[in-house]
Amino acid sequence: MRHNIKVTQHHSNRSDDTALATAAGEAIKWLTTIPQDAISVSAHDGWLELDGKVNWRHQRITVEDVTRNLPGVKGVINSIRIQSDPVFSDVRAVLQ
């Protein structure tokens, strides 16, 4: 018996990237330790780019971990910045 099977490779397109960025944004919203609207997500050819600011390193890592495992993600470019801790003089000014 002979079977002809045609295998085609799915190529990413703009709508796939839009759906991927939307899915990543929704996943981030479920993270209660990440301030809402602190992170922006864009996608290009299956690669996610994360941008924004968080207060702690663990928040940056958590966002990357959650988005990296989404279906269709080829990789993550994590451009999330960690806000610097206030210096002592800034804290004293707030307390006065």
Position 59 scores a pLDDT of 96
Residue 18 CB partners (closer than 8 Å, separation 6+): 43
Q: How many CB atoms lie within 10 A of CB 60?
A: 21
pLDDT tens string 59-84: 999 999 999 999 999 999 999 999 97
Q: What is the pTM of this model?
A: 0.73
Residue 23 has pLDDT above 80, yes or no: yes
Choose among 16, 34, 13, 9: nearest CA to 70: 16
Q: Does a structural domain hold residue 37?
A: yes
Q: Does a structural domain hold residue 94?
A: no
Which CATH number do you get for residue 32? 3.30.1340.30
Q: Does a structural domain hold residue 3?
A: no
Please count the structural domains in the chain.
Answer: 1
The percent of residues in the chain predicted with pLDDT above 90, rounded, is: 68
Q: Which structural domain, as residue segments, surrounds residue 69?
A: 14-85
Decide: 72 and 22 in contact? Cβ < 8 Å.
no
Q: How many CB atoms lie within 10 A of CB 77?
A: 13
